[in-house]
Amino acid sequence: MSDWKPKRFWKDSTVVAVDGGFTVELDDRRVKTPAKADLILPTRPMAEAVAGEWDAQEKEVNPAVMPFTRSANAAIDKVRIQHGEVADMLADYGDSDLLCYRATHPQELQDRQSAEWDPALDWAETALSARLVPVAGVLHQPQPESALATLRSRVHGLDAFQLAAFHDLVSLSGSLILGFAAAMNWRKPDEIWRISRLDETWQIEQWGHDEEAHQVAEAKKAAFMHAKRFFELSV
């Protein structure tokens, strides 16, 4: 049974408007989530992306090549049910944000962090009304409570589909601020990803390229780019 895979049984994948949004029908059968909930998507473009994935399946259904379907399932079956817990977990990144923990040496790395990360913190102060403060070293130092409360409120304001995407934008970058920056189009997503990888890039420059680490990083980058696209399709 462990080798069993669902077979393609349908001819056409169709987007259908329903109460609360859009769904996907395989011939005349509506797609369900793994938890058997109705797959109701907030926008037609998202439903079209999901329908396209189902239409691309051949003899067997392969969830590994259906990222929009997987993200939608996660939004409905997991995030919607645990919205508060997920939002709190992501908001907690603000108190230990990647952008705030700066190297104590060498000066070249310090300068690079300031040049790359300070503009993101400046943007957050303007766009999010929250100023986080850089600190030297890796020991935790609490951020201003007013800023953290503002950021927490913004995270809780995201709906289940936005929050499912935001989860990956934050966890993959290690930064609540960069997660918002990607979601709100501060810069192009590949540029934001590059900024999040500053320390790793520095290490590569010092110690050389590692192929296995590179492959892992590329997989994370692809997931980050997908999360950005899923967020866009949710609104």
For residue range 135-178, list pLDDT tens digits in order: 999 899 999 999 999 999 999 999 999 999 999 999 999 999 99
Q: How confident is the model at residue 210 (pLDDT cuts 50, 70, 90)?
A: confident
**CB-based burial, 135-164: b 16+ in 10 Å, e otherwise:** eeeeeeeebeeebbebbbebbeebebbbbb
Whether residue 59 is predicted with pLDDT greater than 90 in this model: the reply is no
pTM metric for this prediction: 0.94
Residue environment code for 23-50, b if the CB has 16+ CB neighbours within 10 A, otherwise e: bbbbeeeebebeeeeebbbbeebbbbbb
More confident residue, 1 or 170: 170
What CATH class does 13-62 carry? alpha beta
- The residue that leads in pLDDT, 64 or 120, is 120
How far apart CA 23 and CA 38 sit, in angstroms, is: 8
User: Model confidence at 2, in pLDDT bands (50, 70, 90)?
Assistant: very low
Residue range(s) of every CATH 3.30.2180.10 domain in the chain: 13-62
For residue 4, pLDDT over 60 is answered with no
Q: What is the reported pLDDT for 100?
A: 98
- Listed in order, the ranges of the chain carrying CATH 1.10.3580.10 are 83-233
Please tell me the CATH code under which domain 83-233 is placed: 1.10.3580.10
Q: How far apart are CA 137 and CA 130, in angstroms?
A: 22
Q: 34, 63 in Cβ contact below 8 A?
A: no
